[in-house]
Amino acid sequence: MAELLQFVFSGLTVGAIYALVALGFTLIYNASDIINFAQGEFVMLGGMTTVFMALAGVPLPLAALIAIIVTTGVGLALHRFAIEPARGASSVALIMITIGASVFLRGVAQVVFDKRFHSLPPLFGADSIQFGGAAILPQSLVVLAGATVIVILLWLFVERTLLGKAVIATAANRLAARLIGVDTRRIVDFSFAVSAAIGAIAGILITPITLTSYDVGTLLALKGFAAAMLGGIGSPLGAVVGGLLIGMIEALSAGYLSSSYKDAVAFLIILVVLVAMPQGLFGRVKVERV
């Protein structure tokens, strides 16, 4: 029982990060039909920039803030200088651009930072809390709380603000959005910026637990993508549920089967979803009135 609780908790923690990555995918996909495979690099940039700022003597909270701003800038630049000039190209071509951007960012990180693993001090110390026989890291609670706050803020933004509605409108019908005077390019800019910021925050939160290095983005992007697929691509609720499920399944299979299969689980789930239910758990079934 204590063992199960332990697995569930580590599953939820890493699942929350997958959920944030999946939310990043969802935001950009809804605004532009692009799957942004550089999403994992946003997570890496958040963690790595904070680490190196802290090493340079910048106080940790300020270092984290700078990392979020830098990553947001990178997200905006990715849209402005790589995606936007290719406007009108097919979705597949645009997705390949994001894969290119992901390789590029990893390369730059290797040069600007280094190739070693780095960590950050946890926010509330490293002494684990005993709960029902399981040992819980305080940083796990920080990750879960951070993810919850982000999800609530996003939900409020979409429900309560006109800009949020404009994002939904752009996702639902881009032509109509342009015809009512929404500058849809700005909306896509905005989604790239927010996705990058969310990625950076995820990277900063998880680094004290899982460490970070220049190439952590690849696997995180794939797991986040699996989460988005499982939840139904385009559904924010699906992204959150999918992320938590993938984290949980991963932790349980690592615990009860073998930890060497841990990373295979996400790929297995992608395959099963694609074959058995391509629309995912909360995916939209397109119904249109004519």
**Residue ranges that bind other proteins, judged by CB under 8 A:** 162, 165-166, 168-169, 172-173, 175-183, 287-290
Dist CA 138 CA 157 (whole Å): 29
- Closest approach, Cβ 171 to other proteins, in A, equals 8
3-state secondary structure the chain: CHHHHHHHHHHHHHHHHHHHHHHHHHHHHHHHCCCCCCHHHHHHHHHHHHHHHHHCCCCHHHHHHHHHHHHHHHHHHHHHHHHHHHCCCCHHHHHHHHHHHHHHHHHHHHHHCCCCCECCCCCCCCCCEEECCEEECHHHHHHHHHHHHHHHHHHHHHHHCHHHHHHHHHHHCHHHHHHCCCCHHHHHHHHHHHHHHHHHHHHHHHHHHHCECCCHHHHHHHHHHHHHHHHCCCCHHHHHHHHHHHHHHHHHHHHHCCHHHHHHHHHHHHHHHHHHCCCCCCCCCCCCCC
User: At residue 136, what are phi and psi to the nearest 5 degrees?
Assistant: -115, 130
Query: In this complex, which beta carbon is closest to other proteins, that of residue 85 or of residue 132?
Result: 85
Query: In this complex, which beta carbon is closest to other proteins, that of residue 26 or of residue 39?
Result: 26
- Closest approach, Cβ 140 to other proteins, in A, equals 35
Query: In this complex, which beta carbon is closest to other proteins, that of residue 116 or of residue 289?
Result: 289
Dist CA 47 CA 132 (whole Å): 31
- Closest approach, Cβ 33 to other proteins, in A, equals 16
Query: In this complex, which beta carbon is closest to other proteins, that of residue 136 or of residue 169?
Result: 169
Query: In this complex, which beta carbon is closest to other proteins, that of residue 15 or of residue 238?
Result: 238
- Closest approach, Cβ 34 to other proteins, in A, equals 20
Query: In this complex, which beta carbon is closest to other proteins, that of residue 19 or of residue 166?
Result: 166
Query: In this complex, which beta carbon is closest to other proteins, that of residue 152 or of residue 176?
Result: 176
Query: In this complex, which beta carbon is closest to other proteins, that of residue 75 or of residue 234?
Result: 234
Region at 67 (left for phi over 0; alpha for psi -120 to 50; beta for the rest): alpha
- Closest approach, Cβ 176 to other proteins, in A, equals 4
Dist CA 140 CA 128 (whole Å): 10
- Closest approach, Cβ 30 to other proteins, in A, equals 11
- Closest approach, Cβ 87 to other proteins, in A, equals 12
- Closest approach, Cβ 256 to other proteins, in A, equals 40
